[in-house]
Structure 1
Amino acid sequence: DEPHLDLLPQEDFIEAISTGDQELFQDAQYKRSAKCLERMDQVVKNLETSLYKARDLEFLGQTIMSKQEMEQSMTKDFAYMPLMPRAMRIKRVIINRLRNARNEKLYDINKKYQDLENRISAGEVLNEDTSISRWEEIRNLVRQVMEFREQITYLGKGNIRRLYMAQNTMRILTHEDLVPMLYLKNRLEGIKLGFEVRYLVIDEAQDLSLNHFKVLKDITKCHNATIVGDLNQRLIQWDEAGFLQLEEIYNDVTTFQLNKSYRSTDEIVKYADGFLKGTSAESLRSGDPVEVEETKNLKTAAVLIKERYEQMKKDGVESIAIITRNLDTAQDLNNLLKDEIYYKFIRTQDGIYSTNTLLLSAFLAKGLEFDGVIMVDTHRDREKPDLVKYIMSTRALHRLHVIETTA
């Protein structure tokens, strides 16, 4: 049976990390590290002798495969293969040998009864017991073959999820478990795509660990890639940015620094750069100034949002996003705005973007762009860097209105 798995949605994961869940953060940090994949390698090595225990296999007094030969095949001869196909290969060898031993015995049975028939035809009086018929001996042989095959049914079997969960450092799964899980599956089963991958294009690479790239390379067998990412658009500050270490898994890596913004106006870019440390981008066009207002609470902020939204619609702004720092604030605003303006509240990554106006959190806005953005933030501190504010503000193409509130 498949083990029951508790899955933590990615938006809930981000929310938990953002609010200081250190246990979850440390667990994810470990699963993004080289140590985690090294641990998976050790698991596979241990399973070579524990999952498919070697034993002497005999059939009708004949050794089909010795324990020593099985160990040799598992750990050395077929070690280039993933573990489960390796065990299946050994199983096929055993079955072929079993088939030969069965055929030899069947030949002996048939020859025995053919000799008896010849002797009877010659008029010889038989002294041996002939009460056991030929078919009874064959049925007995079939039964012995089936009993032998029962001994080797375990070869090639294994539940990847169960094996992974036995090593999992938490009793729930998050999206950070996907890479070590795929790595273990590839080492144990082998992952075949069914098509050739000649080139990889990876976007939003700033959120990926080096393990992500390693597993992608192992599975696709592809050595050519274009990888694009922006370090300033990381919602979580992990120890390492994987796409800055690509030389460890790829040969001939060429890096291009892109410092021009083709998305936002110069005014929006300069405002967003104010939340970074020591970096700046250049925009190719000018536009309206960024408007910043402060309010005491979300209720007052909701009134301002309605006003700014109506002004944007009047000015012909087509796509509008109301973006908050977190999902809780978005939910609170939804309660205040749902009867005031027309929009779609996006709660999860599976949300359907069916209207021109959206209410969503910074996490769900990542990678998207809108003609106008109303940015609502309860975090009024001016410390740097504040990458959440950077992400929120750079979603805007032409118009950005900022509403800061204390509660």
Structure 2
Amino acid sequence: MKVSEREPEWTAEQRRVDEVVRQVDRSIEALEQQTSGTHLEMVDIRKNFWDDVTVNFEDSAEMAETFASLKQQAEILSERERAHGHAARQLKTLRKLKSSPYFGRIDFLENGEAQADRVYLGIASLRDRADEHYLIYDWRAPIASLYYDYPPGPAELKTPSGLIEGELLLKRQFVIREGEIVSLFDTGVTIGDELLQEVLGRQSDAQMRSIVGTIQREQNRIIRNERSRLLLVQGAAGSGKTSAALQRVAYLLYRFRGTLNADQIVLFSPNPMFNSYVSTVLPELGEENMQQTTFQDYLGARLGHSFKLENPYAQLEYALRAELEPGYSSRMEGIRYKATTGFVRLIDGFLGVLGREGLVFRDVRFREETLVSGAAIGAHFYGLDRSISVPNRMRLTAEWLLRLLKERQKTARTEPWVDGAVELLDKETYLKAYQTLRRQNRQLKDESFDDFDRERELLGQYVVMEAVKPTRTRIKKLTFVDVRSTFLKLFLDSEMAAAAAAQAGIELPGQWEAICKDTIDRLLVKKMAYEDATPFLYVVERIRGFQTNTSVRHVLIDEAQDYTAFQFAYLQRLFPFSRITALGDLNQSIQAHASEEASTGFTALASLYASEETETIVLRQSYRSTRPIVEFTSKLIPDGDGIEPFNRGGDKPVLTVAADSNALNGLIEGRLARLAANGNRTIAVICKTGAQSKAVYEALRDRVPLRLVQSETSTFEPGIVVIPSYLAKGVEFDAVLVYDASGEPSGYGKESERRLFYTVCTRAMHELHLFALGTVSPFLKGPIEDYYASDSAGQQADLQPNANGFIDNGKR
């Protein structure tokens, strides 16, 4: 709507914005006074903390009074800090409302009512200070579903009191900046093209934006889903999967305020940089960030102290670069097989066999002697009732070992080594021993060490008690079972493997012997391949007992198509009571294990939950990229015709062919200059591998201001980056330069690399430039040639670098 077309309505809406901003200003003023007062009070409490505490440690009664006084002061301070933090968050939200109070309006006439309700929607609710009616409704309020789910016409709203039916008379959208309406228009669809064009046409930021004003109907289904135990979201690249998931978290925290907090929600993201990229979305919506981690970080925390643990990026680098190395075929076969449900079943069969035989036990040693041999432990374990689960038999075995250790502790007190150890006690240890024994033996309250025999007895107790501690700790941790050697038996013992397969009702794969050799060679030197890490940890937990997390209520898994069946099975056991939201795009399955069986969707995950507890939502429309880019990328994959591009204009992708690497680097440099000069804030040179990224970075670093992104990079920043393909997943850039789109090994020539190439190209929001060294990738031949422009001479109006190097509007 243009101002000249409907000026009276525009003027009326602006008057309302002005009034709302005045109310916000008054609320800000009141809160600023409140926070200032609370802050001064906190400072005063901290300054005078000990002055207001009665301190007396002379007797137990006075100590209790001291403790109560400390507790009271700490609680007062904690309450003031909570109040100050809450007010500070409210202030932050109000300042955002002052700039842009709301983004939408709906007029809803309920059946049987004479007057329509007029509802304005923003990132937070705001009430009129005079009569307490809502000036703005939070976008997460139930009534907001009318805005997201219906065009003008018949509509219905589910509420706790029942279904409300009526008619949506008006749906209006706003772009408001600094309290001024920039654009205003009415729409007959969920979100008008004008608003999406305005939002999507902007240059990219260093963090993902919160775009609650542009949520689509299918995304709204994801956000407000409260029923499903497992919510599967399958969406094309750029369809808003991650954005909807983060806004789902904000909705859940709003909907279950008081019973759900951010610490009870965990996001498993693809890499540390992605965590940085999405870290501002929830704070923008006035919520605290949830727990964020990667599956690799979890594996590292559990296994990193015992093994040299491979990460998924090293595994993928191997898959992409080591094709000519010995053992490549068997390693790749093992990677793919260990990602399947068949291997999960084999391990479950193996665990079934271990319940009857085959567990490897270590000797339990006390000082230099064997207290109980591994063989004796095994005999005791397998002598227990086999109807008892393995973890419970482990605990019973541990209790038996602790009893034997306690008996050995008693006999050790009179042994000669104890006298020697007592003689070596220094004064500090002597006093520590006395205090320890005094706490444990109340009869020592009025005693002193004035009797030699008594002193020797008590100090001997202390020495033996300290000597026993390491053994007791190892027993309690169940380290008497050798899980590494037990796990190895599956690959070392052909009869054990056959028994496990028979138990599972499956057949071993054709290359089982080669897979076994490859696995054994690594584990014997304590190297843990990424494909073995989760199965091994699964075996550890099934033997010793799962360390389940019962406090986390929602788990979000992004880029779920890259998870294996085993990782899903493990996470299901780790979070047995959590609701799962899994997001992914099968066309972006780029991990080394990707195969027909390993990439059949989320079948493995869905099989872990009842069908009535599961819901699948498919997002087909892509919003990230311009229409020409989406039309191009959709031709790269077999089922790309199902992807619906949003109608945002732009230039076709451009393919430039270079004769050699020097020419290629020169063309890249010139193209980067033009893109930066045109105002693109985030530009990525995406290489196939990490090794290629390092080489390109070294070649350009003295000519172009850029950064190298590696697996350990933890922050996403604007500017020009050189980044390997697998780290670019989940992130978007204003412009993308695909470094080598040739059919050579350095490019994308194999069918197994098709999805990787697709993933790389879909990172571009506004411009996509492909460069090829000599030959052109087979993926760029045939009918797809109609969807990109060729620029063999590299003359796309690039600025040429001068003697000073990189050009950015004439400035370095």
TM range (shorter): 0.7 to 0.9
1:288 match: 650
Contact 1:27 1:170 in 2 (8 A): no
Contact 1:344 1:353 in 2 (8 A): no
* Alpha-carbon distance in 2 for matches of 1:287, 1:364: 28
Map residues 310-325 of structure 1 onto 2, 5 A cutoff.
310-325=673-688
Map residues 290-369 of structure 1 onto 2, 5 A cutoff.
290-350=653-713, 352-354=715-717, 356-369=719-732
2:246 match: none
Q: Does 2:469 align with 1:158?
A: no
Map residues 71-220 of structure 1 onto 2, 5 A cutoff.
71-73=382-384, 75-76=386-387, 78-79=388-389, 81=391, 84-91=394-401, 156=478, 157-161=480-484, 163-164=486-487, 168-171=519-522, 172-193=527-548, 195-220=550-575
- More moved, 393-402 vs 171-180: 171-180
Give the aligned residue type for 1:274.
Answer: K
* Alpha-carbon distance in 2 for matches of 1:24, 1:43: 26
* Alpha-carbon distance in 2 for matches of 1:367, 1:86: 47
Q: Does 2:725 align with 1:377?
A: no
Give the aligned residue type for 2:668.
Answer: I
Q: CA deviation at 1:70?
A: 5.8
Q: CA deviation at 1:402?
A: 1.4
2:145 match: none
Task: Quote the RMSD (CA, aligned, Å).
Answer: 3.9
Structure 1 residues 396 and 329, CA, compared in 2 at 3 Å: closer, same or farther?
same
Give the aligned residue type for 2:310.
Answer: L
Q: CA deviation at 1:307?
A: 1.4
Q: CA deviation at 1:73?
A: 2.8
Deviations 1:109-163 (CA, angstroms, capped at 9, x unpaired): xxxxxxxxxxxxxxxxxxxxxxxxxx9xx9xxx9xx99xx9xx978632354555
Q: State how many pairs are aligned.
A: 353
Give the aligned residue type for 1:182.
Answer: L
* Alpha-carbon distance in 2 for matches of 1:79, 1:9: 33
SS in 2 for 1:322: strand
Structure 1 residues 73 and 48, CA, compared in 2 at 3 Å: closer, same or farther?
farther
Q: CA deviation at 1:84?
A: 3.6
Deviations 1:37-61 (CA, angstroms, capped at 9, x unpaired): 23651574366765289xxxxxxxx
Q: CA deviation at 1:207?
A: 0.8
Higher relative contact order (CA closer than 8 Å, sequence separation 6+): 1
Unaligned runs of 5+ in 2: 1-303, 364-375, 412-453, 491-518, 776-812
1:266 match: 627
Structure 1 residues 82 and 207, CA, compared in 2 at 3 Å: closer, same or farther?
farther
* Alpha-carbon distance in 2 for matches of 1:338, 1:91: 62
* Alpha-carbon distance in 2 for matches of 1:162, 1:70: 17
Q: CA deviation at 1:92?
A: 5.7
* Alpha-carbon distance in 2 for matches of 1:66, 1:34: 28
Q: CA deviation at 1:11?
A: 2.4
Q: Does 2:576 align with 1:221?
A: yes
2:607 match: 248
Q: CA deviation at 1:396?
A: 1.0
Contact 1:319 1:370 in 2 (8 A): yes
Structure 1 residues 249 and 358, CA, compared in 2 at 3 Å: closer, same or farther?
same
Same amino acid, percent of matched pairs: 21
Structure 1 residues 387 and 37, CA, compared in 2 at 3 Å: closer, same or farther?
same
Give the aligned residue type for 2:616.
Answer: T
Give the aligned residue type for 2:347.
Answer: L
Q: CA deviation at 1:83?
A: 5.4
2:336 match: 29
Structure 1 residues 216 and 194, CA, compared in 2 at 3 Å: closer, same or farther?
closer
2:310 match: 8
Contact 1:52 1:87 in 2 (8 A): no
* Alpha-carbon distance in 2 for matches of 1:277, 1:378: 19
SS in 2 for 1:366: coil
Structure 1 residues 356 and 39, CA, compared in 2 at 3 Å: closer, same or farther?
farther
Contact 1:345 1:358 in 2 (8 A): yes
* Alpha-carbon distance in 2 for matches of 1:370, 1:184: 41
1:391 match: 759
Contact 2:686 2:722 in 1 (8 A): yes
* Alpha-carbon distance in 1 for matches of 2:377, 2:661: 75
Q: CA deviation at 1:264?
A: 1.6
- More moved, 370-379 vs 201-210: 370-379
* Alpha-carbon distance in 2 for matches of 1:301, 1:68: 68
Deviations 1:345-399 (CA, angstroms, capped at 9, x unpaired): 1233446545521101111212221111111224347886711221111111122
SS in 1 for 2:619: coil
* Alpha-carbon distance in 1 for matches of 2:378, 2:585: 55
Contact 1:40 1:180 in 2 (8 A): no
SS in 2 for 1:81: helix
SS in 2 for 1:228: strand
Give the aligned residue type for 2:531.
Answer: E
- More moved, 326-335 vs 295-304: 326-335
Q: CA deviation at 1:244?
A: 2.6
Unaligned runs of 5+ in 1: 54-64, 103-134
Q: CA deviation at 1:180?
A: 0.7
1:17 match: 319
SS in 1 for 2:667: helix
Q: CA deviation at 1:233?
A: 0.6
Contact 1:349 1:364 in 2 (8 A): no
* Alpha-carbon distance in 2 for matches of 1:7, 1:192: 21
2:205 match: none
Contact 2:552 2:575 in 1 (8 A): yes
* Alpha-carbon distance in 2 for matches of 1:272, 1:324: 17
- More moved, 180-189 vs 239-248: 239-248
Q: Does 2:589 align with 1:234?
A: yes
Give the aligned residue type for 2:629.
Answer: I
Structure 1 residues 46 and 305, CA, compared in 2 at 3 Å: closer, same or farther?
farther
Deviations 1:141-192 (CA, angstroms, capped at 9, x unpaired): x9xx99xx9xx97863235455545654441322222211220121122243
* Alpha-carbon distance in 2 for matches of 1:316, 1:83: 66
SS in 2 for 1:379: coil
Q: Does 2:400 align with 1:41?
A: no
Contact 1:291 1:401 in 2 (8 A): yes
Contact 1:27 1:169 in 2 (8 A): no
* Alpha-carbon distance in 1 for matches of 2:308, 2:660: 36
Q: CA deviation at 1:323?
A: 0.4
Contact 1:30 1:36 in 2 (8 A): no
* Alpha-carbon distance in 1 for matches of 2:354, 2:699: 54
Structure 1 residues 40 and 317, CA, compared in 2 at 3 Å: closer, same or farther?
farther
Contact 2:359 2:481 in 1 (8 A): no
* Alpha-carbon distance in 2 for matches of 1:84, 1:313: 63
- More moved, 84-93 vs 152-161: 152-161
